[in-house]
Amino acid sequence: MRDQRARREIPLPTYTQFQQPRAQDIGLFRRVLGGLSCHEYEAAVEAVSEAFG
């Protein structure tokens, strides 16, 4: 977003939050990649479904 009167950018708190990965997101990502690269598809799918419902 930009403040046209002040001619500056306005940081959005929600966007800033999405730029910083949470610890559980990093752990999930590692589990999924590990499962897929080792052909453990079932475990990888279970990890994703548990995290995202």
pLDDT tens by residue, 12-50: 888 877 777 676 677 777 777 776 666 776 776 776 666
pTM for this predicted structure: 0.32
Encode 4-14: b = buried (16+ Cβ within 10 Å), e = exposed: eeeeeeeeeee
| Closest by CA position to 52, among listed 16, 33, 25 | 25
pLDDT over threshold 70, residue 2: yes
pLDDT for 30 equals 75
Instruction: Break the chain into its structural domains and give their ranges.
Output: 21-53
